[in-house]
Structure 1
Amino acid sequence: MKRLLGTALAFAVLAPSAQAATTGSLTLTVTAKADRALDARGVTLGTTGKVSRSGRTLSLPLSAGDAKSLRTAGGFRLRAKRRSITLTAPRLELGTNPRVTAVLGGKRSTLFTLAVAPNQTAAGVSLERTGATLGAAAARTIARKLKVRALPRSSFATVAAAASFGAPAPTAPQPAPTGPCVTTTAGGTPPTPGTTEPPVKARPAGARTVTGATLTWRVRESFIRYIAAGEGTTPSRGAAGTAPESLEGAPPLVYAFTFPFAEGWCDPATGAARIAFTGTVAFRYQQHTIDLVVNDPEVELDGPASRVIFRMTGSDGTAGGNKRAVVETLDVSKATVTGGGNAFAYERIPGAIPPGAASSLFAGYYLPGEPFGSVSISFNTE
């Protein structure tokens, strides 16, 4: 047989959420073009584990599967003269970026990208034979390790698949977390909000109920001064302004607002919390078509994913569509955090315009990532 790197993927698999017994195979068939390229470079292919081979086709039995990937029980080794490289633990990655990966040079890399995505069902996953392109990083690593010219990447192989799942192994129920809540102070880059209305943050099993909370939302000072040149701010529905302040030569203005507590929870396992409030604050500058109204804030505390959500209403150039929207992200790592047991306080959590917030109403005045005041929140639990 000519020197080759076989690659056609035959497998059908549907990955359940829990690991289940998986049967089937992943078949890799090298194209004639790739076979000639390997032969010209003096590269030969060997197999490891339970891989079977027929001509330019390798068949790798599946060993396990879940909702993320299908794992195989085998691998292959490429040789050129006295040099070799082993590709271990090949895997068919499922989800939004289906591809074949393998551990190559001590690192899991994309081995092949697929022309067609696998078809997933509750019973398994199937993939008709489809073209596969050799991954750029994998091609470079193979050429470097074997000291050969770069391999052609396009039309390198075909991939097909057939696999099915048995019933997932039963798992013992995990006890819900107990004990008091904890704080969440991790920093990091906040995720970009989606383009649709954000879902209500799910309450995890074992979460404790928040019995009372206070919220002070401090708005960016330059925005308050800008709005004050028009009709200014108007709190209602229980929301109230804090005492006016004289800053930077401006007349006394209200820069922060408080809101009545509605409901909430916190998670003893992670420190995540969602605390909701009621109340409304309107920002109006009629001459500039601004009638921006924010309602019923929800504060989500969850490390770098911490944020504030308001229901946005209003009219003119700032009509909010009566939808919930992420108004600002919160950097809890820079807050003054105190408490334990049943009482917690986060003082002056810096707020910022969300990343990618092209549709945010405040993003019309400030760029994503720019500061937008702060949030102070305290709460008690059951």
Structure 2
Amino acid sequence: MSNSKSLIPLCNAVHQRILSVRSLVIPRKIRTYTESEEIEKKKPVGEFRVFEIDGVVPRRDGDRPKRTIREKEIPPPRYKSMPIDQDWTRVWPTAASFNYSKIPFPVRQGYVHKNENSVSIPERYANIELRKIPNFLHLTPAHVKKHCQAIKKFCTPWPKVLNTDEKCHKLFPITVKTREYCFSGSTLSDERARIVTLQVKLSALKLDYHGEDKIKRLLGERYNPVDDIITLTTNRCPLKKQNYDYAMYLLTACYYEANKTEPWELEKADEDLDKYYWDRSQSKHNIVQLLHKVHLTDQGKNILDDVESTNPDEEFTEECLKTSDVAAYSEAVTDLHNEGENIITINNYKNSVLNILNIRTDSKQ
């Protein structure tokens, strides 16, 4: 057997198929190689490729104008150029945090810990401690004067009748006291600002004996007998206006409750009262009866025969109580019961009785 190779002739159909396969494969390999080569040429070294959009011309770095940075000169603080007679209300018109450049006087605040100059207090420049605390540089006398001049046109003149404190307290007996707090914190509200204190004199309510006695028992420690002042303090509500309305409600409720007379209150005897009252005592009835009998005797009537005539009428009772002798007697009896027996009260009682009985003594005992 020989190892020689022999050529086998191909038919035309097989030859055409081989040519068609080569024509499809070879151009694809050439196109792929050409695109990758062009991309590598355009890719800049060490940078990302720039996405180019058809129709948009990219701008080169050399065409962009360079920005020049101008350094601004820092002006000196304002207080160095402020005149001496400058209007302070224009420098600090409203409430604001501390600004060192506007203050024409030296201010120091704070403490330096573990430093060489720990003895010296930090000055105002870049001092955060001065910005923490509130200041009143917007409430100087010049500011207050300017504010008063601005709101003066909205105010009415002070009434000429209210020229004394006594007249003011008489026409406006109720006094309301509130407080405002200003401090540095996360919130401007203060719980103590809602407290309202209302004060009024008991005599301004114009109550009778029953009303005064009852309202004293209702108020308890809120009434001061030394200065005759009722004090109501309210802090239950969250707002100041609500506490004010609540205080007025308490005063109104106590006033109308004191004017009421319950059936069980009529059973109160004179021994249950806190002090002696001559108007509702038996002494008043006795002195009127005595003077009426004296009056009938002076007219020549026999009071033993006509017992009904000894009862005085209302007209005689009113005239009798208006006399100075009866008024002095009632005052002497009241002082004798309330203040106790002493030389002054006993002598006043003796003299008032002698005056009523029309007994004159030459020597004073």
TM-score class, shorter? under 0.3
Q: TM-score, normalised by structure 1?
A: 0.19
More helix by share: 2
More strand by share: 1
Larger Rg: 2
